[in-house]
Amino acid sequence: MAVKAKVGTKGPRRSLHFVPGGNDRMFEKALASVADSLILDLEDSVTADNKESARDAVVEWVSGAEFGKQECLVRINPQDSAWGREDLEAVIAAGPDGLVLPKVVTRSNVDAIDQVVTALERDKGVTEGSTSLVLIGTEVPEAVFHLHEMARNPRVDAITWGAEDLSGALGARAKRDSAGNYLEVFSFVRATCLLAAAAAEVQPVDAVYVDFKNHKGLKKECHDAADMGFTGKITIHPDQIEIVNESFTPSKQAIDEAHALIAAFQEAEAQGKMAFSFKGQMVDVPHLKRARQIIALAAHITGQTG
C-alpha cells in the first residue's frame, strides 16, 4: 500500500503541472517538459466566455496527443457550476488518466462524482475504474474537516490543498508571514491534508508555490514538504518542474542508507532483534518501513526515467 501513496497512474507523481485549457502553445511546451503529470485546466485559468471552447480543445488534446509517460489529468469545473456536468461527460469520453476535482466538500460529493464516472465509463466504452480522482479538498473551509473521509473513496489516489481559494473564503489579508512561512491556519490545513492522505494511503501533494520566480523559496518549501512526507507538488511555471522533481526524488545518499538499514535489519532479525543501534541512533520497525518506502519510490522513478 505504501507504493500506492507514492505514484500516479503511470509512475511517480512528483510534479503536477497546470496547463490552461485551450492554450496550445503552453500545452505543447508542457508535453515537452519533464513534468510527471499534466493537469489540463478547465476551471480557474479559463474565463466564463471561453469555457466551452477550452473544453473542446482539452478533449482534442486528451484524445489525440501522445502523452507518453506523462500522466494526463483534467481539472473540471465544480459539479454545481454551469459547466461541471458537461465537462465530466466530454472528458471521460476522451479517456484521461484521471480527473482533478476542485471545491469538493464532503464524501457524498466525491461518491456522487464517482458514480457518474462509473456510468460514463460504461457508456463511453472506457475501462471501468480506470479514471482516478485527485482531490483539491481544502478550497472551502468546511472541506478541511472531511478530508480523511473524502480520501477514502476507492477512486481517489491523491489529495492536495490550495491556499488561494481558502484565503478568499477566510477573508485572510495574507497567507504567509514576513519570513515567507505560512500563517498558522494555512499550516494547519497543509498538515491536515498530509495526515488525511497518510490515513487513506493515498498520495499527499503539496500546494502550488505562486512566487514562481523565487527559486530559492521554492526549493526550501519543497525540501520542507518532502521532509514532512509530501511526495509531490503542483507547479504553474515550467521553471518550477525540475526543482520539484529533484526535491521529491530520493538522493543517492538516502537510497544507500536505506539499503544499509534494510540489510542491518535482516541481520538483527536473524538474531531475534527488531530494535537496535544503527549509526548512533536507535531504530525499529517504523525506520524499516521508511527505508522500504524510499527504495520503492526510487525504483519507480528509475523505471519511469530510464
Is residue 28 within 8 Å of residue 62, measured between CB atoms?
A: no
Is residue 180 within 8 Å of residue 217, measured between CB atoms?
A: yes
CA pair distance 173, 136, nearest whole angstrom: 22
What is 207-243 written as a DSSP string? PP-S-TT-HHHHHHHHHHHHHHT--EEEESSHHHHHH
Please give the pLDDT value at position 3.
33
CA pair distance 201, 3, nearest whole angstrom: 9
Q: Which among 149, 244, 234, 235 is positioned nearest to 199, based on CA atoms?
A: 149
CA pair distance 64, 98, nearest whole angstrom: 16
What is 155-184 written as a DSSP string? TEEEEE--HHHHHHHHT-S-SB-TTSPBPH
* Residue 200 burial (C-beta neighbours within 10 Å; 0-12, 13-18, 19+): buried
Residue 139 zone, left/alpha/beta (φ > 0; ψ -120 to 50; rest):
alpha
pTM of the model: 0.90
In terms of DSSP bridges, do strands 276-278 and 281-283 run parallel, antiparallel, or are they unpaired?
antiparallel
DSSP type of residue 144 = G
- 104 vs 66, 112, 173, 174, CA distance in Å? 30, 11, 24, 24
CA pair distance 247, 219, nearest whole angstrom: 7
Residues 138/176/224/45 CA torsion (nearest 10 deg): 50
CA pair distance 150, 148, nearest whole angstrom: 6
Tens-of-pLDDT digits for all 306 residues of the chain? 333 434 566 678 999 999 999 999 999 999 999 999 999 999 999 999 999 999 999 999 999 999 999 999 999 999 999 999 999 999 999 999 999 999 999 999 999 999 999 999 999 888 999 999 999 988 889 999 999 999 999 999 999 999 999 999 999 999 999 999 999 999 999 999 999 999 999 999 999 999 999 999 999 999 999 999 999 999 999 999 999 999 999 999 999 999 999 999 999 999 999 999 999 999 999 999 999 989 988 887 876 543
Please give the pLDDT value at position 304.
52
CA pair distance 142, 137, nearest whole angstrom: 9
Domains by residue range for the chain, with CATH = 15-249 (3.20.20.60), 253-305 (no CATH)
Render pLDDT for 141-164 as a digit per residue (tens, 0 to 9).
999 999 999 999 999 999 999 999
Render pLDDT for 239-259 as a digit per residue (tens, 0 to 9).
999 999 999 999 999 999 999
CA pair distance 264, 251, nearest whole angstrom: 20
Please give the pLDDT value at position 10.
64
